[in-house]
Amino acid sequence: MKNIEIHGSKGAIKSFAFSSTTISLPEVFGGSIPPALTEVNNLSLRCPFPLKNTRLSLSLANSLCGPALNSLEIDFTSMQIHPDYATLTKLLKDMPVSSPKLERLTLRLPNPYLREGRRISPCPRFQALLDDQDFTFPLLKEVTYLTDLPRNGLLIEGILPATFRDSSTTLSRWNKQRLSR
């Protein structure tokens, strides 16, 4: 990352994928994102958000989610330590404002109902965010919402149908309609 920081011009990198089951964003970037990564169009994050540096991890992830972003993939399914849904809510809540050009959103999340073998309920704030009328993306063309919660032996997954592409559509309403079929 030092070479990118030293030699990369502002906004030079348009696509960035970071995947690690053990290394967090602060361990890679320190306290700030290099200028070359400030105008990323395509972002894929698959990394832990450990408790000791959750706030800094969120800050770095939000710095990567700028106004140029049109594709975001968040995959927390294979993490040894899953971020809780409150953290995920904090990560996503400002996305409609910070990344208004978002066309593709992929969320791959761990089963919210099971933790350490016992049943728990998902974070009410996460569900409230997905239900919020202001949590919309006017240019959104594709949504994949995958959780490892089985439904009839299959994984829940889908692509946003054309009829739900208007700016008043929220992820939750689309997901409920899709799953009730």
pLDDT in tens, 114-140: 555 555 555 677 778 888 888 888 899
The dihedral formed by the CA atoms of 34, 36, 42 and 47, expressed in degrees to the nearest 10: -20
- pTM, 2 dp: 0.76
The pair phi, psi for residue 147, each rounded to 5°, is -130, 150
pLDDT in tens, 23-32: 889 999 999 9
Ramachandran area for residue 117 (φ above 0: left; ψ -120 to 50: alpha; else beta) = left
| Identity of residue 167 | S
Structural domain count, the chain: 1
pLDDT at position 98, please?
A: 94
